[in-house]
Amino acid sequence: MLLKIAWRNIWRSKLRSIVVISSIAIGVWSLVFLLSFSRGMILTYIDKAIENQTSHIQIHNPAFINADVDKNELERAAFNYLSDPDEIEQTLSQYEEIEAFAFRSYAHQTFLGVAGKTGVANVFGINPEQEKLVTNIHQQIIEGDYFESQKRNQILISRAQAEKYNIGLKKKVILSFTDQSGTPTKVAFRVCGIYDTKNQLLDQFNVFVRQKDLNRVLNIPDQSHEVAILLKDVHQSDEIKAGIAAALPSELVRVYDEISPEIELFNVQIELSTFIFTFIFMLGLIFGIINTMLMAVLERMRELGMLMAIGLNKVKVFQMITLETLLLGIVSAPIGMLIGYISVGYFKQVGLDLSHFSKGMQKFGLSEVVYPVSSVDMYITFGVAVLLTAILGSIYPALKAIRLRPVEAIRKV
């Protein structure tokens, strides 16, 4: 009975109810789209980082990673290679969950010189065919080719480096190394291709050469510093990592968010942004509901006084006001979520083109096209948030209603 009365009370002032329902629905829609956009931007960054460099899992010699932190050990870092590449390859081949893996060599902060200009670069020695199966660097070539020639000492540089050093294809780049005996040596590499991953944080430092060329310079034949592993399902990362670590106790095995701390930061940011935006939305919504329901109570003082005079107790009055508020939320929230679901679904297919801001976004490794991403948990959170806000917002108007004196309320004009 109370539910029926509450539903009818809502539509006694149709314009006001429609305005409230519309405002809540628009708020829910904007919240869904904003968080989906934010989530899509962050997940795109993570996907690009995995596809272009980190992969899902990496294996290193623990001393190699420590040397990356301890600057006094950088010169010796190149010789902290994996203890037994054959054993690693045999272990990884046993996992059906692994899509592909690639061995790499690596030289920390190598001096790079071009036509009188010098800089610092991280040199990746890769097996081109293996790397194709793990990362997408071969798809990022904008000029030249991806190690198609079998000539020695070829190098891939980024567009940012090409512009910085004013060099192009077939030009020489001088890299300075320290070999295993501690002897400094300079080696000329010729540019075979120019890539662009749209991530200036990485592109301004990373260069790629063949692993056999880098190993020859470092005098570490048949050795590797890391293994990059691509999985068929990213959700199995922790499980596969634990298995590999148990099989290879002397090596350091890490998943992508441990390799790149900013990825873990962004994952936390997704959850934090959802909480912050939802809280702000609830805070704004609760005052709107209080204002609306308080007006409804003040307009119906004579009616409420009459109901209490004929025997409707305060508990029932309180429940009626609360039900009216809940019904407003129950009607408006699904409308907002439906509109949000449709708009997110559309832009998830076509994407949001932010190419006008491409230079600024590339500095942080963000994609020019963002595909919003929502989740079931997000909709459940918003639904619960609206209902909880409606309950909280109804408390003060309901208390105002039950404090009315029936005799005085009936006399109100």
| Segments making up each domain of the chain, as ranges | 2-48+264-410, 62-250
In contact, 101 and 227? CB cutoff 8 Å: yes
How confident is the model over 108-157, as pLDDT tens digits? 778 888 877 888 888 999 999 999 999 888 888 999 999 988 889 999 99
The pLDDT value recorded for residue 69 is 44
| Neighbour tally for 345: CB within 10 Å | 12
Query: For 81, which DSSP code?
Result: -
How confident is the model over 334-388, as pLDDT tens digits? 999 999 999 999 988 887 777 666 565 555 566 677 888 888 888 888 888 888 8
Q: In this structure, are strands 226-231 and 172-178 parallel, antiparallel, or unpaired? A: unpaired
Strand partners, 105: 125
How confident is the model over 168-219, as pLDDT tens digits? 898 999 998 876 666 788 899 999 999 988 877 788 889 999 999 998 888 8
| CA distance linking residue 298 with residue 125, whole number of Å | 76
Start-to-end CA distance of the chain, whole Å, equals 27
One DSSP character per residue, 327-379 reads HHHHHHHHHHHHHHHHHHHHHHHH-EE-GGGHHHHHTTT--SEE-----HHHH
**pTM score, two decimals?**
0.72
| CA distance linking residue 81 with residue 61, whole number of Å | 6
How confident is the model over 319-335, as pLDDT tens digits? 888 888 888 888 888 99
User: Packing angle between helix 14-49 and helix 376-402, nearest 10 degrees?
Assistant: 150
How confident is the model over 18-76, as pLDDT tens digits? 888 888 888 889 888 888 888 887 777 777 778 877 889 999 988 877 654 444 444 44
Phi/psi of residue 114, nearest 5 degrees:
-145, 115
